[in-house]
Amino acid sequence: MTKGTAYIAHTADETGFIQYPQAEHDIWSQLYARQAVNLPGRACKEYLQGLDALAMPKDRIPQLAEIDAVLQVTTGWKTAAVPALISFGRFFELLANKEFPVATFIRRKEEFDYLQEPDIFHEIFGHCPLLTNPSFANFSHMYGQLGLHASKEDRVFLARLYWFTVEFGLLQPKDGPLCIYGGGILSSPGETLYAMESAVAERQPFDLLDVLRTPYRIDIMQPIYYVIEHIDMLDEIAKMDIMSYVTKARQLGLFTPKYLPKVKVSEIVSQPVS
């Protein structure tokens, strides 16, 4: 869903099996080991329960059929192998059909800590455990149906809803500590620690209109996170008249960004030297 990528997804054979080189299995293993240390005490219990249910291998990239076997039984979802980049239309179509898009490539060693494109570690490790949870799965399904019928202009606002929930959402139970449910955080060691421990980042109670009006950048640590009280709150959000809020957000306009604009290399080069 960005303009270009340096990655090419692997293609499955006629049985659906994907052959990954050992070097890529090694990267998966290293990523898994690092997050296995970071997530206890930080990831929400529903995610950890899903991680246990999936029982994904730690020493190799899992086959999608292994993930599907668990998702189908728990919530009726399955994965869908996709290229490194897909259109918004295709993305919404898959979610509306209870298929979670998984780009079948993994990041290179030089992009170990940060990758703009969602790779298989982000999708499988970050998101699929919570797809075993009915509330999260239902919200994802509703979101796909909503986006599938939305205009191009409205989809821009809907993207912010997905960003601040499914990707970068935090959870604060009344009877427990702050924890993570957003897959963009759960698959990122740096963001896991930053989202939970940074004194700079803002953590605001979830407000649908505010979320739809909040700008974001994909290439920085998030300056603001929105917090829900419990995972079942996603069911409550799914029942709201979200498109009426989108209309109101478009009328009111966006908040002032809490980050500096991205500077292009050409702009840096063209600056006068004092």
Residue 271: is its pLDDT beyond 50? no
pLDDT of residue 114: 72
Residues 6+ apart with CB under 8 A from 36: 58
Residue 162: is its pLDDT beyond 80? yes
* Burial of residue 108, with CB atoms counted within 10 A of its CB: 0-12 exposed, 13-18 middle, 19 or more buried: middle
User: Is the Cα dihedral 59, 65, 66, 67 positive or negative?
Assistant: positive
pLDDT of residue 270: 37
Q: What is the mean pLDDT of the chain?
A: 93
Residue 3: is its pLDDT beyond 60? no
pLDDT of residue 112: 79
User: Is the Cα dihedral 94, 104, 168, 32 positive or negative?
Assistant: positive
Residue 242 CA to residue 239 CA, distance in Å, equals 8
Token pair belonging to 103:
């780009």
Is 202 within 8 Å of 225 (Cβ atoms)? yes
pLDDT of residue 263: 58
Is 214 within 8 Å of 164 (Cβ atoms)? yes
pLDDT of residue 274: 31
Residue 166: is its pLDDT beyond 60? yes
Return the residue matching tokens 């293993």. 29
Strand partners, 228: 171
pTM score above 0.85: yes
Tens digits of residue pLDDT in 82-98: 998 899 999 999 999 99
pLDDT tier at 266 (50, 70, 90 boundaries)?
very low
Return the residue matching tokens 């205009």. 151
